[in-house]
């Protein structure tokens, strides 16, 4: 770490850099090291060697799928879920429609007025 303190001249930039630094690929790490050392290739190489020796990083960042690919994947997942759960969905729709049409529901029984019970004999 003392070597890096010499490179960065003991300023707070190193502390801020290390707190915010999350490399995702070797190319991104190289660009960041080069940017941070203000184009000093020797310092950037030393910094890259120091950080990358224990990391297993891909050479380049993975390409983010396009919006179309994301929509396609999500819609295929939705249609597959509907296909797998088709019977349950149909049963649920039929049940709800029968509730709406009052089919299959036990009709409500008109409650006849309850007989008036005689009062409890209270001992006076």
Structurally, the chain folds into a number of domains equal to 2
Q: Is residue 35 part of a domain?
A: yes
Residues 101-124, buried b or exposed e (16+ Cβ, 10 A)?
eeeeeeeeeeeeeeeeeeeeeeee
Express each pLDDT in 62-85 by its tens digit.
788 899 999 999 999 999 999 999
pTM above 0.75, yes or no: no
Q: Is residue 17 part of a domain?
A: yes
Q: Which residue has the higher pLDDT, 2 or 19?
A: 19
Q: Tell me how far CA of residue 34 lies from CA of 8, 40, 79, 87, 122, in angstroms.
A: 13, 7, 47, 59, 99
Quick one: pLDDT band at residue 2, thresholds 50, 70, 90? very low
Q: Which percentage of the chain shows pLDDT scores above 90? A: 22
Q: Which residue has the higher pLDDT, 117 or 76?
A: 76
Q: Is residue 78 part of a domain?
A: yes
Q: Is residue 74 part of a domain?
A: yes
Q: Which domain holds residue 92?
A: 67-100
Same domain, 6 and 48: yes
Q: Is residue 22 part of a domain?
A: yes
Q: Is residue 114 part of a domain?
A: no
């Amino acid at each position: 770490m003392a070597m890096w303190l010499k490179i960065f001249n003991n300023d707070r930039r190193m502390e801020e850099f290390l707190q915010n630094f999350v490399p995702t690929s070797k190319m991104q790490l190289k660009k960041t090291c080069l940017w941070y050392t203000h184009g000093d290739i020797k310092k950037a190489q030393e910094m890259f060697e120091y950080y990358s020796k224990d990391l297993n990083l891909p050479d380049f960042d993975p390409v983010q799928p396009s919006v179309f690919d994301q929509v396609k994947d999500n819609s295929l997942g939705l249609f597959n879920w509907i296909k797998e759960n088709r019977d349950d969905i149909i049963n649920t729709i039929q049940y709800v429609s029968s509730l709406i049409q009052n089919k299959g529901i036990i009709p409500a029984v008109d409650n006849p007025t309850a007989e008036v019970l005689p009062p409890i004999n209270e001992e006076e």
